[in-house]
A and B are shown apart, each in its own frame.
Chain A
Amino acid sequence: MLGATTLLLAGSIAARASRDGPTAPADRWWAPGSNRTFPTQADYADTTGTLRVLLTGGPLATKGHPFFTPVGPNGRACVTCHQPADAMSLSAATATERWQATGGKDPLFAAYDGSNCPTLPQADRASHSLLLGYGLFRIQRPWPPRAAKGGAVTPDFDIEIARDPWGCNSGKYGPGAGNISVYRRPRPLANMKYLLAIGFAYDPKQGLPLALDPETGKPVSGNLMADGRASTLDAQMRDAAATHLELLEQMTPTDMARIVDFESRIYTAQQADRTGGAVDIAGAEGGPAKLANSQAGQLGSIGKPVWSEFEAWEKPAPGLGPARAAFRASVVRGAHVFRDKTFLITDSTGINAPIGFGNPVRNSCVFCHNMSQMGNDVAPGQVDLGTTNQPFADPMPWLPLFRITCRKAPHPFYGRVIYTSDPGYALTTGRCADVGKITLQSLRGLSARAPYFSNGVAKDLRAVVDFYDRRYTIGYTEQEKRDLVNLMSVL
């Protein structure tokens, strides 16, 4: 009886949210076990306007639902780190709000991975500086890597610790004890059909057909997790349960099926911009509804061009205020810059080697971010942009630094020794040629989930553009930079 009343109440909150605009601040945070009903549509204010979250197939009673219910000892649920208001990721700003609201007591800050290292004094704010400042969680990977089917992978490189600011790469947390700790952003858990879609039978970056899921024998998209360690939602879930939730037992098949069901129904994207207005009017096709209703996995270069959603804004609607018209024009220009402004992509494994595009190769943002409507990679998207590898990475004294020595062939671009703050895909494959490769993410809902890149080094979208401008000596004009930022803010 009580349950039913709560549900009804929650339902009416949800209805209010979609009728009356953005969800009230008090309802933004989805605490684990709050037993609310997840509405079919919820709008949340974000840094540039409104993010919309859609749940296809009707509202969901979250009471007892394994995505929303704290099942492990630390009081967390999946929703703790995959928050609707943050485009199903978690922004650093939200982490800071939670710290302030709870005096650091929120299960979000669990010692295991919500602090810089469990050995640090947990009541100190400074012990959680990576989560509060950069939205980063500690990810502990086995060393040497383990194969998906079990068994050790024999790496072709040695790893030494060049810098260990928090002590989580030494002693029982260090490689000597079979562990490596890196720090990463939660990846947005929405629009999953795009991330699981398979466009081609081959992975051109590996020069092989797509890898097969060891459980089902079916080919996988290769587009999950920064280091590609899990290739299916099931495999990912086991990883998340054992680490983030500190579960000792495996989740039951029923729980896993319920989580996959939820993950498959949730869509999110920016719905409105404060200046530009709704993104699905005047012929534009932004917003999550379009995502839910479209076929996933198309290559933009042979189908619907990436970010052509906003093409109709090229011609300003009559009577549009000047600020709104200018913003919309900027978004359209931004989409053209994204697709058409070329630059020399250099020394990025996954693109410049071994695939054969050449080093350098002239291309644009869309070369890598090539899937229509999502901006991830249609092929498995492991690419070394240089976000973690020196000399391309910015100095990040707050992150650990690893010294990698390739034992067999040297790395094609870095030589025998590589300094990196996150070996990325190499922590899965054990190959020095994969050091620093990070899987491309979705580019949707960006305004709700700063900071960016898997290591959170880009504090806002301008910092993303500036990173690329430095990395590939692009020479964007100030106008082009602003256009790119405006474009990305409405995705």
Chain B
Amino acid sequence: MALLAMATVAAAEPPETVRFITCPTYRDTDAGRKSGCWLADDRATGRRYDVSAAPSKPDWNHEILVEGKAAEAPDRCGGIVLDPVRTSVLAGTCTRHMLPAEGYPGNRFSLPKRDVAPMAAARAVPPGPYSTRTFRLFFGFDSAFLMYQYDDYLLDRAITWIRAAKPRTIVVTGYAASGPETVSGRAIAEDEEIARDRAERVTEALVRLGIDRGIISVRTDTRPRPVDDPDADGLVEASRRRVDIEARF
């Protein structure tokens, strides 16, 4: 019985990041709301992964780019659990495929760790002294959409600090991972334009949150290096697809 068996992960070595393109499969487990499973088969290895932990989940009509690390977590869906994991919805189309639960329990919904608080909840004022600081938001492949329960949370943290620190200027840099790379035998590269889209969206977001547009300058970079940021969850390639919000004094 595969059920609840531990995924085999080398004990000492930090887990390797897997990265592949595939069509997702939805497994219709039912442990209440949002409890269905997302599975993704890496065609190169034939391994089936559980990518349900992604902050932004697949669409069964479209290919996904999977980036994640195997976790020592019980198999509740019928695949090796990836966590952290990102799934980016790509343009390529897929044949819808849904599996029945087949005895897998699925994942009971619990609030993710990056869950933004309601407006009514008071934010703790981050203590000074304040000096130049960079906040980062991370994106799906070729997407400028601020992910729910991820980017909104990171943005909320940034704006809470910025409101307290009152920087003189803010530099918003949008990056596009436009250097082609081979994934699942296919060359993929982000559109260079996405760097500007990301920067403009984040600028618009800051303005909507009360920042004077006049203190923001917008930059783009289409050859980003990865960053080691705790909120990138150690996913190196995903960390290139980002916006830096640099507060200066």
Residues of chain A at the chain B interface (Cβ within 8 Å):
198-202, 204, 207-212, 219, 297, 299, 302, 340, 342, 344, 347, 352-364, 367, 409, 412-413
Contact = CB atoms under 8 A, between A and B. Distances in A.
B61 A219 contact: no
B28 interface: yes
B34 A208 contact: no
B210 to A, nearest CB: 9
B147 A209 contact: no
B219 interface: no
Interface stretch (B50-58, B69-77, B238-246): B50-58
Interface residues of B, number: 40
30 contacts: A200-B116, A201-B156, A202-B146, A204-B152, A207-B145, A207-B201, A208-B146, A209-B155, A211-B208, A299-B118, A302-B118, A342-B30, A342-B32, A354-B89, A354-B145, A355-B56, A356-B54, A356-B147, A356-B149, A358-B57, A358-B59, A359-B59, A361-B34, A362-B28, A362-B30, A362-B33, A364-B33, A409-B91, A412-B61, A412-B89
Given A212-B208, A354-B145, A363 B116 contact: no
B204 interface: yes
B135 interface: no
A208 B148 contact: no
Contacts of A342: 30, 32-33
Given A207-B147, A208-B204, A208-B208, A199 B36 contact: no
Contacts of B133: none
A211 B207 CA distance: 10
Contact of A204 (B38, B148, B204, B205): B148
Contact of B38 (A340, A358, A413): A358
A355 B156 CA distance: 17
A200 B118 contact: yes
Contacts of A364: 33
Contacts of B54: 356
Nearest to B150: A356
Interface centre among A211, A342, A344, A359 (most CB of B within 10 A): A359
Contacts of B33: 342, 362-364, 367
B145 A360 contact: no
B3 interface: no
A358 B151 contact: no
Contacts, number: 100
Contact of B148 (A198, A211, A355, A360): A355
B188 interface: no
A209 B61 contact: no
A354 to B, nearest CB: 5
Nearest to A357: B57
A360 B36 contact: yes
Given A347-B61, A353-B89, A412-B59, 5 more contacts: A200-B116, A201-B156, A211-B208, A297-B120, A344-B36
Interface string B191-213: 00000000001001100110000
A204 B204 CA distance: 15
A409 B91 CA distance: 9
Interface of B: 26, 28, 30, 32-36, 38, 54-62, 89, 91, 98, 116, 118-120, 143, 145-149, 151-152, 155-156, 201, 204-205, 208-209
Contact of A209 (B36, B118, B208): B208
Given A201-B156, A207-B146, A212-B208, A359 B151 contact: no
A364 B34 CA distance: 10
Given A201-B156, A412-B62, A207 B151 contact: yes
A103 B102 CA distance: 64
A206 to B, nearest CB: 9
Instruction: Give the secondary structure class of B's interface.
Output: loop
A409 B193 CA distance: 14
A360 B151 CA distance: 22
B208 to A, nearest CB: 4
Contacts of B60: 359-360
Closest 6 CB pairs of A and B: A356-B56, A358-B57, A209-B208, A359-B59, A207-B146, A204-B148
B57 A356 contact: yes
A362 B36 contact: yes
Contacts of B119: 198-201
Contact of B35 (A199, A297, A357, A362): A362
Contact of B59 (A201, A352, A363): A352
A359 B148 contact: no
Contacts of A353: 59, 89
A213 to B, nearest CB: 11
Given A353-B59, A360-B60, A362-B28, A202 B116 contact: yes
A468 B100 CA distance: 22
Contacts of B155: 202, 209
A413 B60 CA distance: 10
* Max chain B Cβ within 10 angstroms of own Cβ: one of A200, A219, A412: A200
A207 B149 CA distance: 10
Contacts of A356: 54-57, 145, 147-149
B26 A209 contact: no
Contacts of B120: 199, 297
Contacts of B57: 356-358, 361
A404 B89 CA distance: 23
A397 B91 CA distance: 34
A229 to B, nearest CB: 19
Nearest to B58: A358
A363 B143 CA distance: 26
A392 to B, nearest CB: 15
A198 to B, nearest CB: 6
A3 B160 CA distance: 56
A464 to B, nearest CB: 21
Contacts of A361: 34, 36, 57
A360 B60 CA distance: 7
Nearest to B38: A358
Nearest to A364: B33
Contacts of B151: 207
Nearest to B111: A302
B203 to A, nearest CB: 11
Nearest to A340: B32
Nearest to A210: B208
A353 B87 CA distance: 13
A350 B201 CA distance: 18
Nearest to A302: B118
A211 B62 CA distance: 30
A363 B28 contact: no
A437 to B, nearest CB: 16
A339 to B, nearest CB: 9
A344 B100 CA distance: 13
